[in-house]
């Protein structure tokens, strides 16, 4: 049933996580015109959880969805990527809470940066050079996962 994942999970220490069945986000990569690789980032709306920070389009996983399906659906809802010809190259659990809640980062690639359309959850969407990501005020979960994701990208990427 669509939308059955919306809701908070609360750990014994009071930490709250969005997505009753976990959550997932899309790390979408594309070659940029300067020869570097960019990642599509979302500047989260100020009113949202961890608002004002930069992270990946993503959100709550519904009970019938895989993490990959969730990440692609959420990226379409939040960034309007539509049916872009993306290639999924990895799906990695980048956070697991004591309650069992997980966040899965789905790494995918496109041949060129796709046009985006921000919804109300985004203050801005931007293709950011991979080397410049750490300079932004990142969502804490993404900031913690970024070093591991960089290692995985380097292992997958023949351009590195």
Write out pLDDT tens, residues 101-143: 999 999 999 999 998 888 887 888 999 999 999 999 999 999 9
Asked whether residue 114 is assigned to any structural domain, the reply reads yes
Task: Look up the CATH number of the domain holding residue 80.
Answer: 3.90.79.10
Is 150 within the bounds of a domain? yes
Structural domain of residue 140, as residue ranges?
15-156
Q: Are 11 and 42 in contact (CB under 8 A)?
A: no
Residue 9 resides in a domain? no
Tell whether 23 is covered by a domain. yes
pTM, two decimal places: 0.91
pLDDT of 92 reads: 96
Split into its structural domains, the chain has a count of 1
The answer to whether 74 touches 57, Cβ cutoff 8 Å, is yes
15-71 tens-digit pLDDT: 988 889 999 999 999 999 999 999 999 987 666 767 678 899 999 999 999 999 999
Residue 149: the pLDDT is 95
State yes or no: pLDDT of 1 exceeds 60: no
**What is the C-alpha to C-alpha distance for residues 148 and 146, in angstroms, rounded to an integer?**
5
């Amino acid at each position: 049933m669509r939308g059955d994942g919306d809701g908070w999970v609360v750990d014994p220490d009071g930490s709250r996580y969005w997505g009753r069945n976990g959550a997932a986000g899309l790390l979408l990569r594309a070659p940029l015109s300067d020869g570097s690789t960019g990642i599509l980032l979302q500047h989260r709306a100020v009113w949202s959880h961890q608002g004002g920070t930069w992270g990946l389009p993503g959100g709550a996983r519904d009970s019938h969805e895989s993490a990959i399906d969730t990440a692609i659906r959420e990226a379409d809802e939040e960034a309007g990527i539509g049916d872009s010809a993306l290639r999924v190259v990895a799906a990695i659990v980048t956070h697991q809470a004591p309650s069992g809640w997980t966040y899965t980062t789905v790494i995918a690639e496109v041949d060129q940066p796709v046009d985006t359309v921000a919804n109300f959850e985004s203050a801005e969407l931007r293709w950011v050079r991979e080397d410049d990501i750490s300079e932004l005020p990142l969502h804490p979960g993404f900031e913690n996962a970024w070093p591991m994701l960089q290692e995985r990208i380097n292992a997958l990427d023949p351009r590195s």
